[in-house]
Amino acid sequence: MKEMVGPNIQNDEVTGTLTFQPAGADKAYRYAIVSGEVRLVLAGRTKVTHTGKLDMLLKYSLDADAVVSMQAVYEGNYPETDPKQNRTTWRKFIAAMESLPK
């Protein structure tokens, strides 16, 4: 594996443009969708940059503004560098994220 990935990965920079759109309600919750293009620069000496599209569903209680849960998909690309051939190949990836209950 060329790059280790785990819970201790941190980003030096997160940029992008996201839109927030109300997505209705049911008897117990209100919903919103957040989506847009995101750029992540990983911490460390390599400063690897990932780019992609983030789609997120937020769930709120009917009587509060605090988020109750989140589900998201991040679909993007990351560079894989081959120093021997002096080239970079862009690889696709998909990451699914979900908040844990309190």
Q: Is residue 8 scored above 60 in pLDDT?
A: no
* Residue 87 or residue 29, greater confidence: 29
Q: Is residue 2 scored above 80 in pLDDT?
A: no
* Residue 47 or residue 58, greater confidence: 58
Give 36's DSSP letter: E
The answer, as to whether pTM is greater than 0.85, is: no
The average pLDDT across 63-74 equals 92
Indicate the domain borders of the chain: 11-98
Coarse DSSP helix, strand, coil percentages of the chain, rounded to the nearest 5 percent: 0, 70, 30
The average pLDDT across 29-41 equals 93
Least confident of 3-7, 23-27, 74-78, 85-89: 3-7
What is the structure's pLDDT at 17? Answer: 93
Residue 34 CA to residue 56 CA, distance in Å, equals: 5
